[in-house]
């Protein structure tokens, strides 16, 4: 009789735990980000006036299996929930779709699960990336809603297209920051060897690497292609000013390099002082350093490589293949499933 009562109690506890698990997933609205398709003038609570609104949160569908793994990320909703309040963001037009997929494959092989948004800057890029990301709970592909760009890769001489794409990213970042998310923005031409998130710990507003061999912020030129931002008041004010300068220049037909504008603001402590944490350049090398045979012989424990200053898609592809870092075969759009 006593054993029968014990079994009844255990069954009741097991049932209650399962019900609580389902309720948790059905009510958690902070787990997954899903971009909206158009701009809106509505400001989320706490936003700074004048900011372009780009994304919104949606609730998780309770019918989705929280343990089902996605094809691009090999991650489940359960995995993503372990890193709440953080989003990884990248962008691409058709010319760099394969590079984005290669970067995501390197992230998958490291075993990192993070809520990821990929903004496609043209319809063809959106169609291809959406097909690959279909059913993946960790990767969301969104059409740009701030003006479509060309599908081809332009040289730096065509500033309206080359810098036109780069100068849109800051508004995307700002939208997430204003919602309280920490943002890791990464260019698509990065390759991940280890988990970078342990390097984003500590008291700072922005974490990024410099091109110049100094630890003095005002004497350092920083790279804007791999940057971790916390949603502090200083960070939001800084990125907002960054966006406004780029937008103001665009209205005048001018397209300054987003990175130059960022460095000018940092060196001038404008509009506010930003607490910077510098990434170790040997752990987060840029392309020319990483692909240098002499540097390779030093056996650095590279975390993430950014192929910055390896100019153009063909040159980047050649280097990735030469070093065994090209992990995908994307030559034609995948067949719809």
Q: How far is it, in rounded angstroms, from Cα 81 to Cα 103?
A: 22
Count of H helices and E strands in the chain?
A: 11, 11
Whether residue 155 is predicted with pLDDT greater than 60 in this model: the reply is yes
Dihedral pair phi/psi, residue 94, rounded to 5°: -55, -35
Closest CA to 188 of 145, 226, 161: 226
3-state secondary structure of 210: strand
CB 136 within 8 A of CB 64: no
End-to-end Cα separation, the chain, in angstroms:
56
Q: What is the pTM of this model?
A: 0.80
Which pLDDT score is estimated for 14?
Answer: 52
Which pLDDT score is estimated for 146?
Answer: 82
Whether residue 48 is predicted with pLDDT greater than 70 in this model: the reply is no
Contact partners, residue 120, CB within 8 Å, separation at least 6: 91, 92, 93, 126, 129, 130, 141, 142, 143, 144
3-state secondary structure of 136: coil
CB 125 within 8 A of CB 152: no
pLDDT in tens, 90-101: 999 999 999 999
Closest CA to 257 of 222, 213, 217, 216: 222
Q: Please tell me what DSSP assigns to residue 193.
A: S
In terms of pLDDT, which residue wins out, 138 or 216?
A: 138
Instruction: Calculate ∠ Cα 203-206-207, nearest 5°.
Output: 85
Residue 234 neighbours by CB distance under 10 Å: 16
Q: How far is it, in rounded angstroms, from Cα 252 to Cα 157?
A: 18
Up-side HSE of residue 243: CA atoms within 13 Å toward CB? 20
Dihedral pair phi/psi, residue 106, rounded to 5°: -65, -35
Whether residue 240 is predicted with pLDDT greater than 90 in this model: the reply is yes
Adjacent-strand bridge partners of 304: 192
Find the mean pLDDT for residues 296-315: 93
pLDDT in tens, 250-305: 888 888 889 999 999 999 999 999 999 999 999 999 999 999 999 999 989 999 99
CB 170 within 8 A of CB 261: no
Which tokens go with 217? 């912020």
Dihedral pair phi/psi, residue 170, rounded to 5°: -65, -35
Q: How far is it, in rounded angstroms, from Cα 139 to Cα 260?
A: 30
Closest CA to 62 of 29, 13, 16, 17: 29
DSSP characters over 313-332: HHHHHHHHHHTT------SS
């Amino acid at each position: 009789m006593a054993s029968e009562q014990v079994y009844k109690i255990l069954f009741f506890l097991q049932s209650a735990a399962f019900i609580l698990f389902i309720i948790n997933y059905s009510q958690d609205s902070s787990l997954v980000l899903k971009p909206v398709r158009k701009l809106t003038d509505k400001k989320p609570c706490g936003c700074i006036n004048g900011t372009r609104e780009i994304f919104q949160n949606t609730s998780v569908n309770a019918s989705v299996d929280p343990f089902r793994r996605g094809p691009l990320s090999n991650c489940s909703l359960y995995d993503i929930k372990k890193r709440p309040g953080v989003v990884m963001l990248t962008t691409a037009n058709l010319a760099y779709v394969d590079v984005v997929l290669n970067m995501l494959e390197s992230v998958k092989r490291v075993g990192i699960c993070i809520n990821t948004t990929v903004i496609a800057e043209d319809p063809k890029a959106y169609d291809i990336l959406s097909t690959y990301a279909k059913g993946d709970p960790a990767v969301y592909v969104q059409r740009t809603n701030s003006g479509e760009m060309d599908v081809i890769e332009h040289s730096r001489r065509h500033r309206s297209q080359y810098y036109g794409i780069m100068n849109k990213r800051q508004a995307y970042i700002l939208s997430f920051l204003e919602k309280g998310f920490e943002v890791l923005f990464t260019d698509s031409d990065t390759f991940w060897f280890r988990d970078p998130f342990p390097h984003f710990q500590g008291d700072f507003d922005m974490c990024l690497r410099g091109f110049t061999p100094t630890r003095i912020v005002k004497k350092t030129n920083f790279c804007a292609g791999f940057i971790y931002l916390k949603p502090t008041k200083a960070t939001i004010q800084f990125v907002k000013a960054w966006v406004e300068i780029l937008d103001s220049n665009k209205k005048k037909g001018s397209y300054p390099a987003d990175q130059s504008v960022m460095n000018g603001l940092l060196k001038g402590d404008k509009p506010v002082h930003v607490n910077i944490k510098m990434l170790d350049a040997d752990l987060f090398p840029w392309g020319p350093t990483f692909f240098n045979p002499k540097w390779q012989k030093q056996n650095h424990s590279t975390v993430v490589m950014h192929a910055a200053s390896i100019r153009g898609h063909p040159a980047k592809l050649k280097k990735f293949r030469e070093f065994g870092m090209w992990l995908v075969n994307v030559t034609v759009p995948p067949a719809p499933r």
